[in-house]
């Protein structure tokens, strides 16, 4: 089919007058470039579902894409989860543009496929949806969200019956079923009104309170928490109510929010990029923290599954890196669960190796996975079947999962636990920074650096592929002045050393190269899944025997040398 034929076929099935009009205008102007951009392929359904820019055509997020994806999901669930027609699917949404429309379309297609739906009358944080899949013993779940992406994005996140996000082969099976799905206008649908009347659609807003109760019960009630003053922002997202309720029930009575960022707003008017990792995103909550003399500044991303933290230490707010938060939570949780026989903590290969030392000091198993909580949680579930007891999982991109009853990253429960730790430290005249430095004193200083190299032009993907291929063909012998002891190539699933290659099957196939250096240092390279960028993750280590200050200086200097050797001229550090 020509691009014009594809465009006309799309118009015929599209129920949305706005996206129909978008395509009709491109055809009328004979805008071939605009049409090719929308019809040259489709959004790839991967292990996180779908995410993309709103607009018309198969390369955009729109009603047709959501409806056909839902049809494919239902077809695959019927094959793999035979009792899904009685267990149902749980569907939630955030407050982004079109989230309400996409959720309604997904609900009506699921009902039309003969599967009951559990849903919410209002917006919910992503962790609430993940919790609800397990709480309801649902056959699967869908969350309409684009997490921390810019305002013009939306997404479709899929959960399996085990409460975790999908991994192969389920993502591949769903993708095949999507390809076989009929046009959107031919899909059977049942209206929400009919679904309610027939008892196939049930609203489960009471589960928000159940989630809050569960999370708040993770810590004991304490009057000491009123001594900790917290400044908070939801970044125009949907976590405000649940976060404040959790903190309140746990005894935190001094919590103040950034008022102009407390109400969900799909435009994100006060931030350039609604991701607490991005420069400037936390400016307003840090200003509020200074104004109210806060001990702790915390931020969630718009769907509430990530957590950023800054700490008042020696009169200045210091931001904790994602790995710092992860290490502090892991150590505290392992200490609190010292009675476990086979404790387990899990992190990704691009997160700090320091977790391994912390885990060993507690007699816990440390497991590493590919990037993403889908891998963390599915691997944890495998190991739990072998008798291990899950304590904590994290990835450096501000994602932490401290509760086994919520099989995904959760910025709300993580906020409670970090605030609880901060309150206990304050009662001793200490801060989270003091606790982190104590861990460095015990285990040595690990510090990380992330950088990225952006590629431009139409052959950006080819350029990225060639850089990785060149590293494969000619692995560096030194990085930052330290010998490369091995290179793990997950794309080929081999480990290279100076003695040759051997199979490496501990992790699934992925386009990631891991360089293990003498001296306990590490570097990783992987292409971004969403942008034409190569991402570099560098970790350096120094003993703290001669003091923390010289160790940190040593680590910082080494990271700079590693960055220059591995990717000279990279940006976005």
> For 372-393, what is each residue's pLDDT tens digit?
999 999 999 999 999 999 999 9
pLDDT at 220: 86
Q: Name the domain boundary from 443, 458, 479.
A: 443
pLDDT at 460: 80
Mean pLDDT of 128-132: 98
pLDDT at 573: 53
pLDDT at 44: 87
Flag whether 474 is in a domain: yes
Q: Name the domain boundary from 180, 204, 228.
A: 204
Tell whether 449 and 435 lie within a shared domain: no
Mean pLDDT of 195-222: 95
Pair of tokens at residue 510: 């992925």
* DSSP β-bridge partners for residue 50: 156
pLDDT at 465: 85
Tell whether 383 and 427 lie within a shared domain: yes
Q: What is the CATH number of the domain that holds 473?
A: 3.30.310.50
Tell whether 213 and 117 lie within a shared domain: no
CA distance 417 to 61: 35
Question: Residue 301 is part of which domain span?
Answer: 208-443
Tens digits of residue pLDDT in 426-452:
999 999 999 999 999 999 999 999 998
Residue 528: pLDDT over 90: no
Tell whether 477 and 459 lie within a shared domain: yes
Pair of tokens at residue 454: 């952006």
Flag whether 371 is in a domain: yes
Residue 354: pLDDT over 90: yes
Q: What is the CA radius of gyration of the chain?
A: 24
pLDDT at 572: 59
* DSSP β-bridge partners for residue 390: 344
Tell whether 425 and 292 lie within a shared domain: yes
Mean pLDDT of 519-540: 88
The residue annotated as part of the active site, out of 147, 266, 310, 544, is 147
Higher pLDDT, 566 or 124: 124
Flag whether 571 is in a domain: no
| 457, burial (CB in 10 Å: exposed 0-12, middle 13-18, buried 19+) | exposed
Flag whether 573 is in a domain: no
Flag whether 572 is in a domain: no
Q: What is 455-492 written as a DSSP string?
A: --STTHHHHHHHHHHHHHHS--SEETTEEEEEEEETTT
Residue 324: pLDDT over 70: yes
CA distance 343 to 392: 9
Domain count, the chain: 3
Tens digits of residue pLDDT in 278-295:
999 999 999 999 999 999
Bridge pairing between strands 307-313 and 343-348: unpaired
Tell whether 478 and 545 lie within a shared domain: yes
Give the closest residue to 411 by CA, choosing from 399, 421, 423.
399
pLDDT at 571: 56
- Residue recorded with tokens 């055809």: 27
* DSSP β-bridge partners for residue 535: 452, 526
Q: Name the domain boundary from 188, 204, 220.
A: 204
Give the closest residue to 402 by CA, choosing from 331, 348, 303, 296.
331
Tell whether 239 and 141 lie within a shared domain: no
CA distance 499 to 187: 58
What Å distances lie between residue 30 and 6, 25, 35, CA to CA? 14, 8, 9
Tell whether 395 and 533 lie within a shared domain: no
Give the closest residue to 264 by CA, choosing from 294, 230, 234, 300.
234
Largest CA distance in the chain: 72
CA distance 72 to 171: 11
Q: Could you tell me the pTM of the whole model?
A: 0.94
Tell whether 112 and 246 lie within a shared domain: no
CA distance 141 to 539: 36
pLDDT at 568: 66
Tell whether 8 and 123 lie within a shared domain: yes
Give the SS3 label for residue 107.
Answer: helix
Tell whether 138 and 243 lie within a shared domain: no
**CB–CB of 84/115 below 8 Å?**
yes
Tell whether 311 and 408 lie within a shared domain: yes
Region of residue 547 (phi > 0: left; psi between -120 and 50: alpha; otherwise: beta): left
Flag whether 452 is in a domain: yes
- At residue 77, φ and ψ (nearest 5 deg) are -60, -40
Active site residue 147: yes
pLDDT at 566: 86
| Strands of 245-404, DSSP E | 254-257, 296-300, 307-313, 316-319, 343-348, 365-369, 389-395, 399-401
Tens digits of residue pLDDT in 533-564:
899 999 999 999 999 999 999 999 999 999 99
Mean pLDDT of the chain: 95
Tens digits of residue pLDDT in 15-70:
999 999 999 999 999 999 999 999 988 998 876 789 999 999 999 999 999 999 99
Q: What is the CATH number of the domain that holds 329?
A: 3.40.120.10
């Amino acid at each position: 089919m020509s691009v014009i034929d594809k465009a006309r076929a799309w118009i015929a099935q599209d129920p949305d007058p706005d996206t129909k009009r978008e395509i009709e205008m491109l055809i009328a102007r004979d805008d071939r470039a605009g049409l090719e951009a929308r019809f040259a392929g489709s959004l790839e359904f991967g292990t996180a579902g779908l995410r993309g820019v709103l607009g018309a055509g198969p390369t955009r997020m729109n009603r047709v894409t959501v409806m056909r994806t839902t049809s494919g999901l239902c077809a695959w669930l019927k094959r793999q989860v035979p009792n899904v027609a009685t267990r149902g699917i749980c569907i939630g949404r955030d407050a982004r543009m079109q989230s309400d429309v996409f959720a309604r379309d997904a609900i009506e297609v699921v009902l039309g496929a003969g599967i009951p739906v559990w849903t919410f009358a209002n917006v919910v944080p992503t962790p609430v949806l993940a919790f609800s899949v397990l709480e309801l013993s649902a056959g699967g779940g869908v969350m309409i969200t684009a997490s921390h992406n810019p305002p013009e994005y939306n997404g479709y996140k899929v959960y399996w019956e085990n409460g975790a996000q999908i991994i192969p082969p389920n993502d591949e099976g769903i993708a095949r079923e999507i390809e076989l799905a009929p046009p959107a206008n031919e899909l059977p649908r049942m209206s929400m009104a009919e679904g309610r009347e027939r008892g196939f659609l049930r609203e489960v807003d009471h589960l928000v309170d159940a989630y809050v109760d569960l999370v708040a019960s993770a810590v004991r009630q304490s009057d000491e928490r009123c001594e900790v003053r917290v400044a908070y922002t939801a970044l125009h997202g949907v976590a405000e109510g649940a976060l404040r309720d959790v903190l309140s029930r746990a005894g935190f009575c001094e919590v103040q929010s950034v008022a102009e960022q407390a109400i969900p707003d799909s435009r994100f008017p006060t931030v350039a990029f609604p991701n607490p990792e991005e420069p400037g995103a936390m400016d307003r909550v840090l200003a509020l923290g200074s104004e109210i003399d806060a001990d702790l500044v915390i931020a969630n991303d718009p769907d509430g599954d990530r957590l950023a933290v800054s700490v008042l230490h020696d009169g200045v707010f210091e931001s904790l890196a994602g790995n710092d938060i992860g290490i502090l939570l892991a150590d505290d949780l392992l200490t609190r669960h010292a009675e476990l026989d086979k404790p387990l903590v899990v992190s990704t290969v691009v997160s700090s190796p320091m977790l391994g030392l912390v885990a060993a000091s507690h007699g816990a198993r440390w497991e590493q996975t590919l990037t993403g909580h889908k891998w963390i949680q599915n691997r944890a579930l495998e190991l739990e079947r072998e008798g291990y007891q899950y304590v904590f999982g994290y990835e450096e991109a501000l994602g932490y999962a401290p509760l086994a009853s919520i099989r995904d990253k959760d910025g709300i429960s993580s906020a409670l636990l970090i605030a609880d730790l901060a309150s206990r430290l304050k009662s001793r005249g200490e801060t989270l920074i003091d606790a982190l430095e104590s861990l460095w004193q015990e285990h040595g200083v690990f510090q990380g650096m992330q950088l990225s190299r952006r590629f431009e032009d139409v052959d950006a993907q080819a350029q990225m592929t060639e850089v990785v291929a060149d590293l494969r063909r000619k692995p560096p012998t030194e990085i930052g002045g330290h010998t490369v002891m091995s290179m793990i190539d997950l794309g080929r699933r081999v480990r290279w050393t100076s003695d040759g290659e051997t199979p490496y099957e501990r992790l699934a196939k992925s386009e990631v190269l891991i360089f293990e250096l003498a001296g306990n240092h590490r570097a990783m390279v992987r292409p971004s899944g969403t942008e034409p960028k190569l991402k570099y993750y560098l970790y350096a280590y120094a003993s703290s025997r001669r003091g923390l200050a010289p160790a940190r200086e040593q680590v910082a200097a080494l990271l700079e040398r590693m960055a220059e050797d591995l990717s000279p001229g990279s940006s976005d550090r």
